Structure 1
Amino acid sequence: MDSDAVPDLVRRLWRLPITTPTRMGRKSTLDVETVIAAAVRLADAEGLAAATLPKVSEQLGVTAMSLYRHVGSKDDLLQLMLDAASDPPAGPAETTGWREGLWRWALDLWELYRRRPWLPRVPLHRTPSGPNQIAWLERGLEALADTRLGWDEKARAVTLLSGYVRHSIQLTQDLEEGRPAEQAQAAGEHEYARALGRLVTAQRFPNTAAMLASEAFAASDEPTDVTAREDFTAGLALLLDGLEAQIATTSGAAHRRDAAADRRGG
């Protein structure tokens, strides 16, 4: 393999050797796996902000400068953590079609982000490059394998869905941080509607006023986990409905081209 064709970060993601100048002295007892594992443990325990190079070095009993040899940079460390903590999905799921396959794929990704809420907070500075991220991409593409979509359309579909999962989790987290402690999402939404219902008039904002007065924000003691999942799956269904229409259009056009080719051949 041509080492010049593979950036150092990608080589670290795939645990490929990196050529570095020979150093005198004792051989380092660290490796990229050890450094990343320590950083992931910190993020799991205390959040992404805790996974700093100084804290990682403290946990490993080394200097912060010594870590750069193994992770490259602070930004690279985050990308390495993202891939390492993105536990790959299970093998090919038994599904009845592309829609169920993508539904399960999106829910599995959503559950991963629920287990590790710091993951969607890692800045995305590049397209999926590590083996675990590629495993997620592969499963999403696998669900669409039997459709007549082109590769560009399949890539857009998977990108759209993964972005929706990420945004959904981030929105849930942000709103939770803004609510009083222990207040559930449904209760917060009801309080929001009651407060704005006094200010948003039908004369000025007819549609918003009607929404606030509707059952959309009715009083409920539903826990946040339930409300968040319901909101997520409702949005996911809308996206898949749109993709279903695109697949039907693409399939119909492909069938017409096939039929025209058969007629010309005959």
Structure 2
Amino acid sequence: MVDDTTPNELVRLWRLPVGQRLGRPAGLDVELVVRTAVRLADRDGLPGATLPKIAETLGVTPMSLYRHIGSKEELLVLMSDAATGPPPAFPAPVADWRSALREWAVSLWSVHRQRPWLTQLPIAGPPSGPGTIGWMDAGLRALRPAGLDIGAKVGVVMVVSGYVRQADLLAQQLEQGRRATGLDESETNRHYARQMARLVDPQRFPDAAALFDSGLFESAPPPSTPDPAQDDFEFGLEVVLDGVAATIARTGSGG
């Protein structure tokens, strides 16, 4: 419900009903503006979703958008909330926190890989819209059988979502580097290892030298999925979940 204490940006974020304003262009509303912005970002990346480009796509003036979007910063919040889509729906009750939280993280990773511009958005604050609150709610629900207090559950959700975001950012940057060199992942790794083997002094960096002398980069198997970053993500996710399990064990609770 809208009252005088509800900030305008939350009214728009939650699509709360308000009285009609005079002079509003027919058919133009927050939903249409945000949907258009997301579509442009999907097609052209985040730089393709500026207010002038959105206005051009909709056939309106840029100034008319400010009747529905308070600022370009608010637009990014609206886009982030809309673009993540619905979280996974866990059956009730959740039987195994680890399986549920893994599903939650993999689903969020999939969204980020489909929409790489999401990772480029600034973090403006804690979840505040129906989309991001929905993901937080699902993450907390996954942790119901863990026996953690609510503060610890929030901390776990933040750690796991932060890992997903950082893993996607790293994957994107590595992909950009490979495109710049024209080498695939296996070739990039071999080239890197051979260069470092010549430069790394075993007396100064003994463990790093042993790594580059191990043949790991020469004999690494090809990725098991079409996305080369998937294997790295899944390995790291299991390490993170191991940490969550250790936290649960330390509290003496959880299933």
TM-score by length of 1: 0.87
Q: Distance in 2 between matches of 1:102 and 1:187?
A: 34
1:180/1:226 Cα in 2 relative to 1: closer, same or farther (>3 Å)? closer
Taking every aligned residue pair, what percent have the same amino acid on both sides?
Answer: 47
Q: Distance in 2 between matches of 1:26 and 1:2?
A: 20
2:100 corresponds in structure 1 to 101
For 1:229, the aligned partner's letter is Q
Q: 1:225 Cα shift?
A: 4.1
For the aligned residues, what is the CA RMSD?
2.2
Q: Distance in 2 between matches of 1:10 and 1:189?
A: 47
The count of aligned residue pairs is: 251
For 2:187, the aligned partner's letter is A
Q: Distance in 1 between matches of 2:174 and 2:49?
A: 23
Q: Distance in 1 between matches of 2:235 and 2:221?
A: 20
Q: Distance in 1 between matches of 2:147 and 2:220?
A: 44
1:4/1:107 Cα in 2 relative to 1: closer, same or farther (>3 Å)? same
For 2:88, the aligned partner's letter is A
1:199 corresponds in structure 2 to 199
Q: 1:6 Cα shift?
A: 2.6
Which structure: larger Rg?
A: 1
1:257 corresponds in structure 2 to none
Could you report, residue by residue, the CA deviation over 1:116-139 in whole angstroms, capped at 9, with x for unpaired residues?
111111111111111111111111
1:14 corresponds in structure 2 to 14
Structure 1: gaps spanning 5 or more residues: 255-266
8 Å CA contact retained: 2:2, 2:16: no
Q: Distance in 1 between matches of 2:25 and 2:55?
A: 17
For 2:236, the aligned partner's letter is G
Is 1:82 aligned with 2:80?
yes
8 Å CA contact retained: 2:88, 2:104: no
Structure 2: gaps spanning 5 or more residues: none
2:118 corresponds in structure 1 to 119
Q: Distance in 2 between matches of 1:64 and 1:216?
A: 54
Q: Tell me the secondary structure at the aligned position of residue 43 of structure 2.
A: helix
Is 1:143 aligned with 2:142?
yes
1:189/1:84 Cα in 2 relative to 1: closer, same or farther (>3 Å)? same
